[in-house]
Every structure is written in C-alpha cells, then in structure tokens.
Amino acid sequence: MSKTTYPGLDYSLGKSNFDTETGIHFGVISQNSINLDCTEDFEYDYGKPTCPECGNEIKPSDEVEPDADWNNGKDYACADCQKCYWSESVYSEESLGWTYERDGYQLTDCLDNEIFVLKSPFYTFAQFCSPCVPGAGNLDSPREDGPKTYCLGHDWFEDGKAPYPVYRVSDGTEVTGKDESK
C-alpha cells in the first residue's frame, strides 16, 4: 500500500458523501487506475431524444400520429416539426455520464475521469478527497488511519490486486486475493 503523509480534510464536516446506513464514505478513484476492460460494462446515458430541428423532446414514431403522411416510420417523430428521424440523429453524440449497478456495486461517473463508488461489497481506508468531493475517500491515496471508504475489489485491477487492503462490508474480513467481485 502506498502511503501518504497528509490525511486530507473532511470538507463536508461529516455531512456528505457517506452512506448514512453504514457510515462508510463513498470512494473516488481514477478510471486510469483500474483495468479499463471493466469499463465495458458501464451503461452510458445519452440523454432524452430531442428533435434536431426545434430541440423539443420527441417520441417514438409509432406514438406520434402514426398514420400521418409525414410519419415515414423512422425511429422517432416530432409532431411540432412534422418530421421523422433515425435514433442517431436525436441523441447526443457524447454521453452525459454512465452508471454501473451489479454485483453489489453502485458506481457512477464523477468529475472528468473518476469513478464514484456509492455502494460496494468492499471497503478500505483512504485519505479524504479534496474539496471537489467533500467527505469522500480518495482510493488513489490509501491511508490506514483514513475514513472507512467503499472501494473496488481486486478483480477491478490489471494484476488482480487492488492497490489498497480490501475488506468485506458484511463481516470486516480482509480479502487477500481474487474476490470474484467483477
């Protein structure tokens, strides 16, 4: 485990970015710190479909005057503009964010390139994050005397070993090897 001499500050003053049921702090880790193959299972959000002409929210074409002569059966239709569009025309080209909810994990995107660990079957101890995520633990800076922080299990890392000690939330035991958590 790498050590840092600075414990960080809880800029939330104990009021945010922790699980109120367990008292475990949310974790933050760079996507560059994990095995990038794990990101293949992230569910990306491209927002609600909108009309490329007027910008209004649009609906599937079979829900908008399906018998109208302008409704030509493409994926989406705008009743205001009386035009139809294929899916690739009505969603943002870039994702607005992503989520991951399975195997006991609840993850989402955070800041520019970070993973926000909101729930996990595992925890570790880490330095408090900067003011950007007050009250959360920085999983890229493990610290034995830091706050108890939700973390990713060993299987999320390239060599099958997390850069910090991993403990089970259920019983507090340390998980030392491959944990089948991913």
Per-residue pLDDT tens over the stretch 13-42: 677 889 999 999 999 999 999 999 999 999
* pLDDT tens digits along 61-110: 888 888 888 888 789 999 899 999 999 999 988 888 899 999 999 999 99
Do residues 39 and 127 both lie within one domain? yes
Pair 66, 137 in one domain? no
Confidence (pLDDT) at 58: 93
Q: For residues 130 and 156, state if they share a domain.
A: yes
Cα 33 to the chain's mean position, in Å? 14
Token readout for 8 is: 């960080």
Q: Are 113 and 33 found together in one domain?
A: yes
Q: Are residues 63 and 110 in the same domain?
A: no
Q: How confident is the model at residue 182 (pLDDT cuts 50, 70, 90)?
A: very low
The pLDDT value recorded for residue 67 is 84
Q: What is the pTM of this model?
A: 0.78
Distance CA 64, CA 68 (A): 9
Centre a 10 Å sphere on the Cβ of residue 171 and count the other Cβ atoms it contains: 6
Same domain, 102 and 40: yes
Cα gap 25→19, rounded to integer Å:
6
Q: Are residues 79 and 143 in the same domain?
A: no
70 and 104 in a single domain? The answer is no
CA distances for 104 relative to 30, 34, 64, 152, 181, angstroms: 20, 18, 40, 10, 8
Q: Is residue 2 part of a domain?
A: no
How many angstroms separate the CA atoms of 24 and 9, rounded? Answer: 16
One domain, residues 119 and 158: yes
On whether both 109 and 152 belong to a single domain, the answer is yes
The total domain count for the chain is: 2
Task: Based on the fold, state whether residues 55 and 130 are members of the same structural domain.
Answer: no
Within 8 A by CB and 6+ apart from 172, the residues are none
Q: Could you tell me the residue range of the domain that residue 75 belongs to?
A: 48-91
